[in-house]
Chain A
């Protein structure tokens, strides 16, 4: 079973690594990081001896901003790859080859899911590593700090969930439709988190409109990606995190497992 998963995982990597969007993303990110590095270096040389006028952790702060941009780009990439991963197999009728091997459908789906996640996460690590290295050169000191390290696993989970949601939608909806729907899902999650998340637990279930109940449904069923996003930003910007961890962590685990189960269930029930 492990060998089969590994073969499918490698197949996913080989397939996605040739995706033009990945090459474009690597190229664009590299250019942006290099440009930022050039600006930073020039700025640092210009201020020269006046270091006392620059905030002590200016390098770290700018790196944090750069990481927030890279986070956004990684989420975009997650959605793109998530939508494309299964859909491209369906469109070219290659899925028949996979599904007639003596394997469970879930093995095929999860190898695609994990393989796609690995590609996006490696891209994310590359951009993080490259930006940190260049910014350290610009500031002639290692600007990476422990909070940046803490944001990496959270971002890993964040892109995983976006890939999962994108894959789910791509089972039934074409690429453009999936992108549009994902934008709405992000909007609904944000609105629901803002409307419900600030309420005390005992008042959550008391809603006075159909929109209120819709927000409640979204809040209860979907992972609180808004919270993860805030957590990553907060960590990077060294801001205090005011989150209800005792509620958020179990909810996140349960809702993500729920979506994973749903993906597996829908794939099992789908006619190819």
Chain B
């Protein structure tokens, strides 16, 4: 089963940029990385997946439903590059609000929120307002929000950004645990060395087009690593 299905997707920004994705699929349980240069169209693609932007043409399905149907996001969690929320909230109250919005039973909210706070080692700061948190602590609150529900799909935009080494270790563990539960994970990241270690598949997006999509294991042997292959592919498409 595919958790993401995209066909003939287009989106134009005036005359200077056009995103065109002919076909894209993400299978259930896979960890996928979308990589590309700044301005290649990664964030636009994620926004189109989540119906944050209106497409010009094409079809997008999340969890088997067209993405304009809110139910397609029922078991999907999105973590933006810089997690933020109203600064008067505390980590505990923001997670309680997220739990309500994801329709967790009222009686289960407290326990789930406390478990998530403990998993991310932010239980001690649960009553501090968000405005007093560091960038890394704030990102951990965002990561904790992913642990409230049983997810089908996680969409993470530059998830390693702002995390300290321990935070990065925790995130990799979360990704591993979620994958073990059968959750599909879509990552948007620049840190190719990390992507190579945790992903099953990747795609390179360049100038609004997906120039390749393949399993990490299928990177041709003449390239030392993903970074090398990426540089070659982008270089090739420049020529």
B72 to chain A, nearest CB (A): 8
| A102 pairs with B70, CB closer than 8 A | yes
Question: Which of B54, B80, B85, B102 is close to A101, meaning CB atoms less than 8 Å apart?
Answer: B102
Question: Which of A7, A93, A269 is close to B84, meaning CB atoms less than 8 Å apart?
Answer: A93
Cβ of B229 within 8 Å of any chain A Cβ, yes or no, is no
Contacts of A11 in B (CB 8 A): 86, 97
| B52 pairs with A99, CB closer than 8 A | yes
Cβ of B88 within 8 Å of any chain A Cβ, yes or no, is yes
Cβ of B101 within 8 Å of any chain A Cβ, yes or no, is yes
Contacts of A53 in B (CB 8 A): none
Q: How far is the CA of A4 from the CA of B85 in the complex (A)?
A: 18
A111 to chain B, nearest CB (A): 11
Q: How far is the CA of A96 from the CA of B176 in the complex (A)?
A: 26
Cβ of A49 within 8 Å of any chain B Cβ, yes or no, is no
Q: How far is the CA of A93 from the CA of B82 in the complex (A)?
A: 9
Q: How far is the CA of A101 from the CA of B78 in the complex (A)?
A: 9
Contacts of B77 in A (CB 8 A): 100
Category for how many chain A residues contact B:
20 to 34
Contacts of B76 in A (CB 8 A): 100, 102
Closest to B50 in A: A100
Question: Which of B51, B73, B84, B103 is close to A3, meaning CB atoms less than 8 Å apart?
Answer: B103
Contacts of A14 in B (CB 8 A): 86, 88
Cβ of B74 within 8 Å of any chain A Cβ, yes or no, is yes
Cβ of B53 within 8 Å of any chain A Cβ, yes or no, is yes
Q: How far is the CA of A102 from the CA of B73 in the complex (A)?
A: 5
Contacts of B53 in A (CB 8 A): 271-272
Cβ of B181 within 8 Å of any chain A Cβ, yes or no, is no
Cβ of B57 within 8 Å of any chain A Cβ, yes or no, is no
Contacts of B52 in A (CB 8 A): 96, 99-100, 271-272
Contacts of A93 in B (CB 8 A): 80, 82, 84
Cβ of B232 within 8 Å of any chain A Cβ, yes or no, is no
Contacts of B71 in A (CB 8 A): 102
Interface residues of A in 3-27 (CB under 8 A from B): 3-4, 7-8, 11, 14-15, 18
Cβ of B150 within 8 Å of any chain A Cβ, yes or no, is no
Closest to A268 in B: B54
B60 to chain A, nearest CB (A): 14
| A94 pairs with B85, CB closer than 8 A | yes
Known: A93-B80, A93-B84, A94-B86. A102 touches B50 (CB 8 A): no
Cβ of A104 within 8 Å of any chain B Cβ, yes or no, is yes
Q: How far is the CA of A15 from the CA of B88 in the complex (A)?
A: 8
Q: How far is the CA of A93 from the CA of B157 in the complex (A)?
A: 14
Interfacial residues, chain B to chain A (CB-CB below 8 A): 47, 50-54, 70-74, 76-78, 80, 82, 84-86, 88, 97-98, 100-103
The 5 closest A-B pairs by CB, nearest first: A100-B78, A271-B53, A7-B100, A101-B101, A102-B73
Interfacial residues, chain A to chain B (CB-CB below 8 A): 3-4, 7-8, 11, 14-15, 18, 92-94, 96-97, 99-104, 269, 271-272
